[in-house]
Structure 1
Amino acid sequence: MKFTDLLLFALLFLSVSLNVIGQSEKNEVWPISSVEVHQAGALVEHSSLVLLRGDKQEIIIPGISPGVDLSTIQIDLPEGVSVEKIDYEEREKPDSRSSELSGIKDSIYVQSVSIKMIEAIRKTLILELDFLSANRSIGSDNEVLLVDDVAEMADFLRDRNQELSLDILEADLDIDKIKILIRELTNRKRALEHLQADKEGVVILVLNISKTYARPQEVKFRYLSPSAFWSTDYEVIFNSKNIFVKRYALISQSSGSDWTSAPITLISGKPSGTLSPASFGDWVISAKKPPRSTRRGVYANYNMPESSSFASSAVGEQFDDSGFEISEEASFAGNSRYRFDLETSATISGDGEVEKVAIDEFELDGEVRYYAVPALNSEVYSTVRVPEFSGHKLMNGYAQVISNNSYLGNFYLSIPSIGDTLVMPLGPNPYVRCSRELVEETSTSSLLSGKRQVVSNWTLSVENSLSDSISLDLVDLTPRTRARDGAIDVSVTFSEGGRFDAANNLVTFALELGPGERRDVMITITVVYPRNSTLYGL
């Protein structure tokens, strides 16, 4: 009888245990199955096979990025399974970064204690040195003993004084070294704390199950990570035959969890974090660029891309706190929505490091045209003008220029409107030179009109030393007057073939130069102003 009761109790216990197992899943990190990276945020998807048992089941999913908004969570469930409850919390993360952060905190504490110990020893040495200095004057030409001392004691005190000075200096050096080490550890600690390296997100799902499944079913879980970004980067490879472009993605994410070998899709713009569509941003168009007062601004108004100090070693600078992060108010209104599926999987570190991943390659059909501004530089710059670029899904980004296996520099590629010409600079060409010379300047005045007239004649020259013919724009800047200087009149005449841009005060000569050909053009600037006034700036 007792044996039968014991057997029934064992069967009951086993049944309860199996039911408990069916009610809760093991806390396993679900692998990342795919990532959609936007220019401001990323949609991360985890998936796993789950054995669904019973009428209700709790699933705990650790390893989620911290800082996730609960409203952005989406779940794909099998038929007959619904969500009763979703909870999100952050817990201590038992991984290498968390251990590193804990170790760094311990190291900072140990080093701080070391500084206090060395400072205590240093203070003792200084007190002893002050005591010796108070009792005798050591090392002077006329050494005076203030106490009855023997010669041996005097020698000892002199040696001790020197030893104390060296010990104090050594203590100061040790303190400086430890402070440098503490500073480095503190910077790393702040970086890990910024990544929330000691925390991870945990999602708790409570599912209602109305259908029985004999085999594990796939469950997909998605959420919006706000700490991921990407930007385009180009390599423009130029030779005499074609223009070859390699497009890359600079991807960064600081979720604290690595994206390991997950399929990555790049999407322009930013994702919606709600069920409703986001409101439109401000979309402003204008027929002219914003006014600029610098000479560089005038240079840019000619539709030349602005150069940058961007270099291969400075890739990360674009992604620092001041450069790469896109604010919540950033507007992508009016921009095209492009999608790039990466052919190769990549591992994106979760500590904010920038990973450069290849996207695709393509050729551009363009015309090489030269740009000469002798008032600024005697070098002539070569550019590529691409009238048709709409089929290549180009986006704004930095471009590095390579010609004949030589790195020439970089610039920020700003994509113009469809119908305009895309201009890419290729740097100066040493075989094409230009110059600007004041050949004559006269000044006359009239008593009857009370006016003075100054006439300046300038010669612009350009010479082609290449073995091929070239197309070239020779550009010069003309003076303008302020609105309050209505009494000053400026007129410009120039050689045949010139074109005057009154909005930017530029004269442009579109020239075709054969091999070894030199061309001279003339610009005459006439300024009339009151004869009793002084003219500045001419």
Structure 2
Amino acid sequence: MTKVSDIDAASASTAVLDTQTNVVKLVSADVSTITNVSLYGSRAEIMRVAKLDLKAGQNRVTITGLPGVMLGKTLRVEGRGSATIHDVTISTTPSNEESFPELEALKNEKKIIESSQYRVSKRLEALESFLTTLSAKDNSIAQVTEVLTGYETEAAALQNQSYDLDRRLTELDRRIGEEENRFRTQSPSGKLNKQVTVAIFARAEGSVELVLIYAVSRATWRAAYDTRVTTANTKDDSTPVDLIYKALINQSTGEDWTDVPIVLETASPTFGLSIPELTPHTLRVYRPQPVYRSARSTTRKSTSFAPPRASSPVAYFSAPSPPSSSSVCYDAVIDQEAMVTSAGNVTATFTIPGRSNIPSDGEDHQVTIAKLKLEARLQWVAVPSMTLQTHLKANIKNASEYTFLPGETSVYLDGSFISNSPVPPVSPEESFDCPLGVDSSIRLTYHPRTTRASKSGFYTKTQTHAYAQRITVFNTRTQPVENVTVLAQVPVSQDSVITVKISKPALPPPAPGSNPGSAQQVLSDGPSGSGSGSGAGTVRVSPSVVAEWEDGQEGRLKWIAKLAPQEKLLLELEWEVSAPVGTSIVGL
């Protein structure tokens, strides 16, 4: 059992120890600098180094002016020098103007000047009042002149003194405003309202370095790109692409990142690591429950169209109908843990060359990650039944070691800005499509559709509707284009009595689950005459044109063609729709 005298002795010993502790209180901006920033998608890790002079023995160092958005559990303190760290605490800096003596002195000086202004104004009022009491009857002209001269001299002196006080007061207000801004930023209501207290035992008097490593919120970065495509340099179906990989950094942590190296991290924290549990999934037969209802008496018949008068309610039970989907009561929805994963299933680290300056202003600041030389394959795509414009896109291969994060790119084609378009997550050696706008040099003509109806059959009559559609593609360029895709569509039957048959191009019936995409390979293999190509479901229309199903189940097909300079290409689409005579077909 502890004795009272022991507690008193311990308290006395602690008091002696406190008197021997060297207390140091510093502002982080004055004694430390940020030496490294690792920036993640929604936070940043800051490394700050402070140089301190300690006395031999116990020291208690408090560093104020740290960001209020600091995540306290992430703080680590390391020491460099002949000292040992015993304890580290983080807290909110108390709001106390006494810790800003210059602000208090300025406010006291302002009070003195305001008092002087009050006295000067009273003296001027007294001087004006004295003039109102001056009487010409009791004074000679010489006396009046003497009084007015004295008034002029005294009033001018008082006015000059008032002007000087006003000027000094304006300057004081400016300085007080600056100090109050500094006070607000370092008070609990500002952005720099955290402080760290470190207990250090120094074996000898001298300088040491404290390294503070902590994470802060309100710091983000996102990817952005500039994509520049030059079609004039296309060789062997490959077009050079200059891609500038950029980062847009935004931070409002309260402290400026001045002349610091920045590392960009693509890793993101993952939540919900526990394995989800399956809950019982039960089935049961629906059994209606009796429902108590009130009914109107139906014993009397009404001869009019007006509703019968209600009699005394009669109670009866009835079996309700099965509930509708809007009234079914389901089991409570189980809340699942959120899980955040990397959009590209990859993580990477980008070190920004040199040093950067990112102020705490909440604005986007652009830094360059890399300038890349890539290759792209151009493709012209047209849907003439919808629009006569030909769209150009580039399939760009990421041949670099960098992982492209989701972002937005500014697209430039032959030096002209085209548009902004999204960039998906792309790993090295993967490809992505980049739209390049409309190319007016590839012109389309969508000729009027021709229709012909006929009947056939001796016992069973069949009516047939034949359709023909012609499309002209004109390459007005002085260079050949290698990959022009024209999309078209034929109707799809949803009834067994209706038959749709395509005759031009002579595509085979689409197989369920078929995977087209061999047309480009067939076209690249070189001419092999008309007829079927080597790919499944692909036919060669001409030496420079192949056709295949884009989605046979929905009736979409496409031609892929090579066009020489100034070449006109005629594409023909013919199909027939057959049904028994008298069948009314919807959709023709």
Q: State the TM-score bracket (shorter-chain normalisation).
A: 0.5 to 0.7
- Indicate conservation of the 8 Å contact 2:488/2:556, yes or no: yes
Matched with 2:550 is 501
- Between 1 and 2, higher relative CO (CA 8 Å, sep ≥ 6) is seen in 1
Residue 404 of structure 2 corresponds to 394
Offset at residue 506 of structure 1 (A): 3.2
- Match of residue 264, structure 1, among 262, 265, 277: 262
The Cα shift of 1:92 comes to 5.5
The gaps in structure 1 that reach 5 residues or longer are 1-14, 100-191, 283-327
TM-score (norm 1): 0.60
Cα pair 1:490 1:525 within 8 Å, conserved: yes
* Counterpart amino acid of residue 26 in structure 2: K
1:255-334 equivalences under 5 Å are: 255-270=253-268, 279=273, 330-332=340-342
- The residue number in structure 1 matching 2:34 is 32
Q: Deviations over 1:477-514 (max 9, x none)?
A: 425659x7666554445432201022665322221111
Aligned to 2:384: 374
Residue 238 of structure 1, CA deviation: 2.0
Q: Is the 8 A contact 2:34 2:260 kept in 1?
A: yes
Q: Is the 8 A contact 1:41 1:271 kept in 2?
A: no
Larger-Rg structure: 2
Give the aligned residue type for 1:266: L
1:70 shift after superposition: 1.5
1:86 corresponds in structure 2 to 89
Pair 16,73 (structure 1): closer, same or farther in 2 beyond 3 Å? closer
Q: Which residue of 1 aligns with 2:447?
A: 437
Equivalents in 2 of 1:416, 1:532: separation in Å?
A: 56
Which of 203, 212, 218 lines up with 1:221 in the alignment? 212
Residues 333, 372 of structure 1: CA spacing in aligned structure 2 closer, same or farther, 3 A cutoff? Answer: closer
Distance 1:491 1:416, change over 3 A: farther
| Aligned equivalents of 2:251, 2:587: Cα separation in 1 | 52
CA pair 388-37 structure 1, distance change in 2 beyond 3 A: closer
The answer on whether the counterparts of 1:91 and 1:202 sit within 8 Å (CA) in structure 2 is no
User: 1:385 & 1:36 partners in 2: Cα distance?
Assistant: 33
Aligned to 2:225: 234
Following TM superposition, by how much is the alpha carbon of 1:469 offset from its aligned partner in structure 2, in angstroms?
0.8
Is the partner of 2:401 in helix, strand or coil? helix
Are the structure 2 counterparts of residues 53 and 214 from structure 1 closer, same or farther at C-alpha, using a change threshold of 3 Å? closer
Give, as a single letter, the amino acid of the residue that structure 2 aligns with 1:457. Answer: A
Return closer, same or farther for 1:449/1:268 CA change in 2, 3 Å cut-off: farther
Aligned to 2:248: 250
Would the aligned equivalents of 2:77 and 2:88 in 1 still touch at CA under 8 Å? no
2: CA distance, partners of 1:237 / 1:514:
25
Cα separation, 2, equivalents of 1:246 and 1:481: 46
Q: 1:208 to 1:256 in 2, by over 3 A?
A: closer
Q: CA deviation at 1:26?
A: 2.2
1:168 match: none
Deviation at 1:363, TM superposition (A): 0.7
Equivalent runs, 1:7-26 vs 2, <5 Å:
19-20=20-21, 22-26=22-26
**Contact residue 197 and residue 256 of structure 1 kept, 8 A:** no
Q: Secondary structure, in 3 states, of the residue corresponding to 1:73?
A: strand
Contact 1:91 1:199 (8 Å CA) reproduced? no
Aligned to 1:462: 473
Q: Write the letter of the residue equivalent to 2:561.
A: L
CA distance in 2, matches of 1:337, 1:375: 44
SS at match of 1:499: strand
Which of these residues, 59, 67, 70, is aligned with residue 69 of structure 2?
67
Partner residue of 1:201?
193
Q: Counterparts of 1:365 and 1:452 in 2: how far apart (Å)?
A: 53
Counterpart of 1:517 (choices 554, 567, 585) is: 567
Distance 1:420 1:360, change over 3 A: closer
Where does residue 350 of structure 2 map in the other structure? Answer: 340
Asked if the contact 1:23–1:53 (Cα under 8 Å) also holds between the matched residues in 2, the reply is no
Query: For the Cα contact (< 8 Å) 1:42–1:271, is it kept in 2?
Result: no
Structure 1: how far apart are the matches of 2:394 and 2:483?
A: 12
Q: CA deviation at 1:456?
A: 2.6
Deviations 1:424-474 (A, max 9, x none): 222222211123334322345679668654433222221111111111232
Query: Helix, strand or coil for the counterpart of 2:63?
Result: strand
Q: In the alignment, is the contact (CA less than 8 A) between 2:492 and 2:555 conserved in 1? A: no
Q: What is the DSSP-based 3-state SS (H/G/I as helix, E as strand, rest coil) of the residue aligned with 1:391?
A: coil
Q: Within 1, Cα distance between the matches of 2:427 and 2:554?
A: 20
- Does the C-alpha gap of structure 1 residues 23 and 256 become closer, same or farther in structure 2, counting only changes over 3 Å? closer
Q: Which runs of 5+ in 2 are unaligned?
A: 1-15, 98-102, 104-183, 234-239, 277-337, 506-540
Q: After superposition, give the CA deviation of every residue in 1:393-430 in whole Å (9 maximum; x if it has no partner).
A: 32221111123432111211124566653222222222
Residues of 1 paired with 2:554 and 2:44: CA distance? 43
CA deviation after TM superposition for structure 1 residue 341, in Å: 1.5
Alpha-carbon distance in 2 for matches of 1:280, 1:340: 31
SS in 1 for 2:27: coil
SS in structure 1 at match of 2:73: helix
Match of 1:411 among 421, 444, 457: 421
Percent sequence identity is: 17
Measured in 2, the distance between the counterparts of 1:93 and 1:422 equals 58
Determine whether 1:476 maps to 2:505: no
TM-aligned CA distance change 1:37 to 1:454, over 3 Å: farther
CA offset at residue 529 of structure 1? Answer: 5.7
Whether the aligned pair in 2 keeps the contact of 1:92 and 1:198 (CA below 8 Å) is no
Task: Name the SS of the counterpart of 1:87 in structure 2.
Answer: strand
Instruction: Measure the CA separation in 2 of the matches of 1:500 and 1:475.
Output: 12
Structure 2 Cα separation of the partners of residues 84 and 220 of structure 1: 14
Contact 1:258-1:350 at 8 Å conserved across structures: yes
Alpha-carbon separation, structure 2, partners of 1:82 and 1:376? 74
Residues 442 and 84 (structure 1), Cα distance of their counterparts in 2 relative to 1, 3 Å cut? same
Residue 507 of structure 1 aligns to a residue whose secondary structure is: strand
Q: Report the more deviating stretch, 491-500 or 465-474.
A: 491-500
Q: 1:421 to 1:380 in 2, by over 3 A?
A: same
Q: Measure, in 1, the Cα distance between the counterparts of 2:217 and 2:71.
A: 9
- Given that 2:404 and 2:426 are in contact with CA atoms closer than 8 Å, whether structure 1 keeps it comes out as no
Code of the residue aligned with 1:382 in structure 2: it is L
CA distance in 1, matches of 2:224, 2:408: 5
